[in-house]
């Protein structure tokens, strides 16, 4: 047995350099439509999550079967288990970090420390993925773990990690204790790490770095009263290029008049904790911002809109200057971040071609804007139960109903805190012209627990009691009208889904709350195939390797790859 294992390990180590020797990714290639790889967070910069691969299609989806699985082992002592069909010994773990001790911190929301919730990149036959404090390189053909990197953390909020970025032969990921780490993609060895936020102010970093040319775009989160910001770093050296605050921080800053005063604004939140979309023609990076703080008790914020929280911002990626904004939840009072993935679409609107950005937000509303100018074109409700707004104003922004704020007797509000949808990404199919989104028609009672706002910070001052849901569904929205074309209801309502993937094979991949991985007809919403593999934790992706199309999804610390049988 020892001899067999030694031979297997030697074979694995002999094969590893050849498998990882292919040239890394050219950042310019990310501007092209998504084809056989998955080289960035949403597949390509448009964030449509639409693949042109069609080997797997409606005519043969019944033959889709499990090709391999791989279990990842987080922490300082292990890299992962080889695929189900082999027993090769995984390579050793590479350990880095600033802390004195290597301690594995468990995940939040019931997630294990190795749970993969974010994007998995596929480049030249290798998969790159991350969980809090951990990153891996895995063979995309059979699940072999090539290397594992473990970061010794100082602590912080381990809510999840949304993936890695790649530039040439280098991999980047963020850590919960606020470091940007650069690894050699071939070996997993660390090149450098840079602190990107003040850990003492309780920032935490979860988003996937996004490579745009010679810019590495990173964001952070914070649930206390700290200002949000977006930053750009040099991908080669890690040096800061620019920093954009999402709330006013000094006299004269735009939007200051929408806050009670400068002190309120400069502690106002608006965190940039998820990945946006990029338009190469205008050099605009378009992303959503988080909720204002204090989130639930608002008098210290004033009665204004609290810009630029809960907004879509368009930023020139070369200068870090804001080109335009649109606020989707003015003066938010329910912690409904507007950080849902924006989707870039070129299509007809109002009888003429337009360059558009679409977004379905946590508050239950769907928006269409001109992505060049920020001009508002359409607002509609995709959540029928959403009852927090009195209507939509002339700017296309929902008008908050103060009676639906946190109140002493309690207010019946839809959606609940997790939102009508959440950060798991939507999809857009250019063939059907439909925008797909996961929806939960949830209700809660919102109680004001501390009517004196002077000592309230962060998410304090209120209490939410969930009452249930009218149902969880996947919806298809016609972006030209805002109308729901089809809606597939599930028999349970426990979440807002893991995200979606559309392909040229006339398929829409998603999941249900019962642990089924499902393929739908994107035109009608009819289920065409499913397999029950348990709770899924990230949005499906697809790639082509060795003449075979794979569809990839994770369930906790297990990666599942499907292909035609």
Report pLDDT digits (tens) over 65-109. Answer: 999 999 999 998 765 544 444 445 667 799 999 998 888 887 766
Average pLDDT of the residues of the chain: 92
Residue with tokens 């939507």: 426
Q: Contact, 187 vs 169, CB < 8 A?
A: no
More confident residue, 370 or 491: 370
pLDDT tens-place string over residues 373-432: 999 999 999 999 999 999 999 999 999 999 999 999 999 999 999 999 999 999 999 999
For the chain, give every domain's residue range. 2-564
DSSP type of residue 105 = P
Q: With a threshold of 0.85, does the pTM exceed it?
A: yes
pLDDT bin (cut points 50, 70, 90) of residue 29 is confident
**Residue with structure tokens 């290397």?**
147
Question: Would the pLDDT of 563 be above 80?
Answer: yes
d(CA 411, CA 402): 10
Sign of CA dihedral 244, 247, 252, 254: positive
For residues 447 and 119, what is the distance between their CA atoms, to the nearest angstrom?
36
Return the CATH fold of 2-564: Methanol Dehydrogenase; Chain A (2.140.10)
Are the C-beta atoms of 26 and 167 separated by less than 8 Å?
no
Lowest mean pLDDT among 105-114, 243-252, 383-392: 105-114
Q: What are the residue ranges of helices labelled H in 137-226? A: none
What confidence score (pLDDT) does residue 110 get?
A: 65
Residues in contact with 106: Cβ distance below 8 Å, sequence separation at least 6, in sequence order: 112, 113, 158
Beta strands 145-152 and 93-97: pairing type? Answer: parallel
Contact 53, 34 (CB under 8 A): no
**What confidence tens digit (pLDDT) does each residue in 443-459 have?**
999 999 987 767 788 88
pLDDT for residue 28 is more than 70 = yes
Q: 146, 538, 74, 512: which is closest to 551 by C-alpha? A: 538
Question: 325 near 313, Cβ under 8 Å?
Answer: yes
pLDDT of residue 20: 61
Q: How far is 314 from 321, CA to CA, in rounded Å? A: 9
Three-state secondary structure call for residue 8: helix
């Amino acid at each position: 047995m020892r001899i067999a294992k030694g031979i297997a390990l030697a074979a694995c180590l002999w094969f590893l350099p050849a498998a990882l020797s292919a040239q890394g990714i050219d950042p310019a290639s990310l501007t092209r439509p998504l084809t056989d790889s998955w080289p960035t967070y949403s597949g390509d910069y448009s964030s449509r999550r639409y693949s042109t691969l069609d080997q797997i299609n409606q005519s043969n989806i019944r033959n889709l079967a499990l090709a391999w699985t791989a279990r990842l082992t987080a922490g300082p002592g292990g890299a992962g288990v080889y695929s189900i069909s082999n027993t090769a010994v995984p390579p050793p773990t590479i350990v880095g970090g600033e802390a004195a001790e290597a301690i594995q911190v468990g995940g939040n929301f019931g997630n294990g420390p190795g749970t993969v919730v974010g994007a998995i990149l596929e480049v030249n036959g290798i998969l790159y993925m991350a969980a809090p404090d951990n990153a891996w390189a895995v063979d995309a053909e059979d699940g072999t773990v090539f290397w594992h990197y473990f970061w010794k953390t100082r602590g912080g909020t381990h809510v999840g990690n949304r993936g890695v970025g790649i530039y040439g032969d280098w991999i980047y990921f963020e850590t919960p204790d606020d470091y940007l780490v650069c690894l050699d993609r071939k070996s997993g060895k660390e090149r450098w790490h840079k602190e990107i936020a003040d850990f003492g102010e309780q920032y935490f970093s979860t988003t996937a770095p996004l490579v745009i040319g010679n810019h590495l775009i990173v964001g952070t989160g914070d649930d206390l009263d700290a200002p949000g910001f977006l930053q750009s770093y040099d991908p080669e050296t890690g040096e800061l290029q620019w920093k954009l605050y999402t709330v006013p921080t000094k006299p004269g800053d735009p939007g200051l008049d929408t806050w009670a005063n400068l002190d309120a604004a400069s502690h106002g939140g608006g965190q940039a904790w998820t990945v946006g979309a990029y338009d190469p023609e205008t050099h605009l990076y378009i992303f959503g911002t988080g909720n204002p703080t204090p989130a639930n008790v608002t008098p210290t914020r004033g009665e204004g809109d609290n810009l630029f929280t809960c907004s879509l911002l368009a930023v020139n990626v070369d200068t870090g200057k804001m080109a335009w904004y649109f606020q989707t939840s003015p003066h938010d009072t329910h912690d409904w971040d507007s950080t849902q993935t924006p989707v870039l679409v070129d299509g007809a609107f109002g009888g003429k071609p337009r360059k558009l950005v679409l977004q379905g937000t946590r508050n239950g509303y769907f928006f269409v804007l001109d992505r060049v100018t920020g001009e508002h074109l359409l607002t509609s409700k995709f959540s029928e139960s959403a009852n927090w707004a009195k209507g939509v104003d002339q700017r296309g922004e929902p008008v908050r109903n103060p009676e639906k704020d946190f109140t002493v007797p309690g207010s019946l509000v839809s959606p609940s805190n997790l939102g009508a949808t959440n950060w798991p990404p939507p999809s857009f199919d250019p063939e059907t012209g439909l925008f797909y989104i996961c929806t939960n028609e949830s209700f809660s009672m919102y109680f004001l627990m501390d009517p004196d706002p002077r000592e309230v910070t962060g998410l304090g001052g209120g209490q939410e009691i969930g009452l249930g849901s009218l149902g969880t569904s996947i919806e298809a929205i016609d972006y030209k009208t805002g109308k729901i074309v089809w809606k597939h209801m599930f028999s349970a309502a426990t979440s807002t889904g893991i995200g979606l993937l559309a392909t040229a094979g006339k398929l829409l991949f998603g999941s249900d709350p019962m642990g089924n991985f499902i393929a739908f007809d994107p035109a009608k919403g009819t289920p065409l195939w499913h397999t029950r593999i348990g709770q899924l934790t990230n949005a499906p992706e697809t790639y082509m390797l060795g003449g075979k199309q794979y569809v990839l999804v994770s369930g906790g610390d297990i990666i599942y790859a499907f292909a035609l049988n």
